[in-house]
Amino acid sequence: MAAHNDLGIRGEQLAKSFLLKKGYAVLETNWRVGKAEIDLIVKKENILIFVEVKTRRNNTFGYPEEGVTAKKERMMFEAAGFYMRKIGYEEEIRFDIIAITMNPNQEIKHFRDAFFPGW
């Protein structure tokens, strides 16, 4: 497996542990529909949360959260809609980003309600 894939997998594991420690219930990991993937689907306080995890070795080429593009937001929004229909969910949702920088010191930032794609 390529090194960048290993980094992404490690980041998703760190994000999952981070959220579990904060009291989130993890419902799904790497949930896919078509070409879209949602890294983590979690729930806390009756809010269904779709999480994108971005991990970088360092900030030389920008911060991890800057890697969430408008296209990624749209794909997550569409996948979230599909997931909600699948489970019959009609309550509150949000989209979060977990940004992880591995070096020089591991840093995890949680952006709650980071985006809500609108057309």
- CA dist 32 and 42 (Å) reads 15
- CA dist 106 and 25 (Å) reads 23
Are 95 and 76 spatial neighbours (Cβ–Cβ below 8 Å)? yes
- The DSSP element (H or E) to which 8 belongs, if any, is helix 3-21
Q: Which domains does the chain have, with CATH numbers?
A: 3-111 (3.40.1350.10)
Which of 70, 53, 58 shows the shortest CA–CA distance to 119?
70
Distances, alpha carbon 59 to alpha carbons 38, 95, 101, 104, in Å: 23, 23, 7, 9
User: What SS3 string covers 28-74?
Assistant: EEEEEECCEEEEEEEEECCEEEEEEEEEECCCCCCCHHHHCCHHHHH
**Model confidence, pTM:** 0.92
pLDDT tens, per residue, the chain with 119 residues: 566 678 989 999 999 999 999 999 999 999 999 999 999 999 999 999 999 999 999 988 899 999 999 999 999 999 999 999 999 999 999 999 999 999 878 999 999 999 986 64
